[in-house]
Amino acid sequence: MRSFMQIKIYRGKFIAYAIFVVFIGLALGALTCAVLLDQWLGNARNDADGAFSRVENSLQYDADRIEAFMQRVYSNDGLVSDIRSFLGNNAEGYLTSRLQLSQFNRPLVSFPDDMKSFLSNGGKGDITQISLHTEREGNVVSFDDSGKTSFLFRVPNSDETFRETIGKGFVFHKKLSDPNQISRQLGEFRFLVSSDRIFQTVQNDHLKEAAAVSASGDVYLIAGSGPNTEKLVCRAVADGRTHGFLSTGFAERAYFVTFKSAGFDYRFVSIVELTPLIRQQASVLLIVFLIVLAAMICVLLLIVYNLREDANFLRRIINSIGRVKTADFTPVNRARYRKNEYGMIARELDDMIHQLDRHIRTNYLLKLKQQETEMKALQNQINPHFLYNTLEVIRSSALMNSADYTSDAIATLGALYRDIVKNENIIPLGSELDLLQKYLKIMEFKYPDRFYYQFNVETALLSVTTVKFWLQPLAENFFVHGFNPESEFNLLIVNGWEEEDRFVLEIVDNGNRISEDRLTEIRSKLSRFDDAPADNIGLRNVYTRLHFFYGAGFFMKIDNNEEAGVKITVILSKEATFDVQAANRG
């Protein structure tokens, strides 16, 4: 190391390189830690998303069961009769009314028993309380954890029993109408879905701190440490964003993600405090630090080695100047004058300029290379034009021989090829539809009187910004998998329309349907962002390109039609299309 540190220029270089390596190492370490932190937060976000989806599915299942029960009530005269006996009566009155309305030739129907078996899985399901109300009071049927049934009769509607809070659960209101006179309302059902039973299924989902918050601000803690978690949850809801960071102290942050229920009046909030998360992953961060430190040391050792070699080369080059004057080898670019060892080299090289000019034809060689490059560029321009001109000659020949059909096919192919090789990668949807139409016209030439296509696209969609050449692979799937050459009517329809906050594009055919197992497999592979091999490469490529271009504002569905064929639906949110349009203008 001493050999080059004694030289001024290399001493300065080493200090500059050392500062640069340390800076880059710290930057890469920080970037790696940021990426890891983002991945950990992403995992936490995915866990919260999965938990929220399971809660939503459970609530929707209960809602569907309640709806099915109401249909069951209206279709069973015995249940309606028993419910009328139960409505507004006390226990004695209910039993007396049941006996009076009973018939010896029919089994006695029990409304509470029917609810217990059909609606609440024997009293052990999510629905823990059903009440039937008049305008002033209600009768209650409750199920405890063991499935035991209990009753309360003639409880005022203002009683604490009926106060709706997320701590108790979710209340579904269903009007009870007279089956013989629908406009006449007999009372109201209130079904209580227990929050404890709904949320206990997600309490072991690796959630650090989570809660459900009703529209009125009630908080139900799913995971966390009491008041601190409740405070953070309320701040996250008040923030208004779907995800972000909250300050919890000096240089301390907490990450939150919120999900708003589409069908129920609550928000699901998950909190991850960064300090405990970093402590938990301290071993991983230590490994990153050691790797970055080892990398910096290796780079510095490599710099030392190279500077030692450069110092030795500097000593040798002075001795080689004499050979350079005899044109034994070619020097590199001219160095600047400096007050150090390079200054001496520069002055010596200036003396050799005239001799180097006689032996090395640098400019001549550069011109040859430039001409060779220009020729290659010209050739690359000629090849497409040669194809266009050749297609034009064939088309002209077809016209001269009255082969209009062949002429149209060649003209369409030439126009399609010309549009494909253009440099634009981002085009309006109208231009993309023109490309598809040229392709379909060629297929119409290929299958005369056996293939037909139709476009029904609203004008508002034509100016939407999109990527180039993604509709053709979707249409090509029809010709590869769904087209029937024996059929006299193969149809492909492209529909497009504008909705309030999105654009919808459909590609519909009447070909072969896809089996349900295969359809499930295709949907799974499309939504999976990994390197797993896929049979439907074209469809996967289209999905990936559009997802990367539009982000979360893009959605694709693949379904079988009711009678025949397949329907591919592409949905683009207006927000996403406006964002990419603004980005391309910028």
CATH value at residue 566: 3.30.565.10
Whether residues 406 and 531 share a domain: the answer is: no
Within-domain flag for 272: no
- Amino acid identity, residue 91? A
Closest by CA to 522, choosing from 561, 557, 483, 567, is 557
Whether residues 446 and 555 share a domain: the answer is: yes
Q: At what angle do helices 8-74 and 282-325 cross, to 10 degrees?
A: 140
Instruction: Identify the pLDDT of residue 566.
Output: 93
CA distance 383 to 230: 69
Report whether 189 contacts 176 (CB < 8 A). Answer: yes
Whether residues 409 and 445 share a domain: the answer is: no
User: Of 129, 164, 198, which residue is a domain's last?
Assistant: 198
Whether residues 377 and 490 share a domain: the answer is: no
Whether residues 459 and 559 share a domain: the answer is: yes
**Tokens standing for residue 179:** 């089956």
**Tokens standing for residue 31:** 């970037």
- How distant is the alpha carbon of residue 121 from its chain centre? 37
CA distance 307 to 37: 38
Whether residues 399 and 419 share a domain: the answer is: yes
Whether residues 409 and 454 share a domain: the answer is: no
Within-domain flag for 40: no
Closest by CA to 412, choosing from 436, 384, 430, 429, is 436
| Long-range Cβ pairs for the range 340-344 (8 Å, 24+) | 340/7, 340/8, 340/9, 341/7, 341/8, 341/9, 341/314, 342/9, 344/318
Q: At what angle do helices 8-74 and 341-351 cross, to 10 degrees?
A: 110
Q: At what angle do helices 77-86 and 8-74 cross, to 10 degrees?
A: 90
Within-domain flag for 192: yes
Closest by CA to 30, choosing from 289, 254, 294, is 289
- Please state whether beta strands 243-249 and 451-457 pair in parallel, antiparallel, or not at all (unpaired): unpaired
CA distance 65 to 191: 11
Within-domain flag for 107: yes
Structural domain count, the chain: 3
Whether residues 163 and 81 share a domain: the answer is: yes
Could you tell me the end-to-end alpha-carbon distance of the chain, in angstroms, rounded to an integer?
51
What is the span of the domain harbouring residue 149? 76-198
Report whether 134 contacts 88 (CB < 8 A). Answer: yes
Within-domain flag for 21: no
Burial class (CB in 10 A: 0-12, 13-18, 19+), 193: buried
Q: Model's pTM, two decimal places?
A: 0.50
Within-domain flag for 160: yes
User: Of 198, 232, 247, which residue is a domain's last?
Assistant: 198
Within-domain flag for 316: no
Report whether 395 contacts 411 (CB < 8 A). Answer: yes
Whether residues 492 and 535 share a domain: the answer is: yes
Report whether 187 contacts 130 (CB < 8 A). Answer: no
Instruction: Identify the pLDDT of residue 531.
Output: 45
Contact partners, residue 478, CB within 8 Å, separation at least 6? 492, 507, 509, 511, 566
Within-domain flag for 38: no
Closest by CA to 234, choosing from 258, 253, 198, 202, is 258
Whether residues 458 and 569 share a domain: the answer is: yes
- Please state whether beta strands 266-273 and 252-260 pair in parallel, antiparallel, or not at all (unpaired): antiparallel
Whether residues 482 and 368 share a domain: the answer is: no
User: Of 378, 394, 423, which residue is a domain's last?
Assistant: 423
**Tokens standing for residue 519:** 């359809």
For residue 390, report the phi and psi dihedrals to the nearest 5 degrees: -65, -45
Contact partners, residue 384, CB within 8 Å, separation at least 6? 417, 418, 421
CA distance 20 to 26: 10
- For the chain, 586 residues long, the average pLDDT of each consecutive 10-residue run is 65 83 90 90 89 91 89 85 85 80 65 80 79 91 84 91 89 88 86 89 80 90 82 89 88 90 89 87 89 90 74 58 55 50 55 55 43 39 45 56 62 65 76 89 84 93 88 87 87 94 94 89 74 58 84 90 90 87 62
C-alpha distances (whole Å) from 498 to each of 140, 190, 400, 494, 501 are: 49, 40, 46, 14, 8
Whether residues 404 and 533 share a domain: the answer is: no
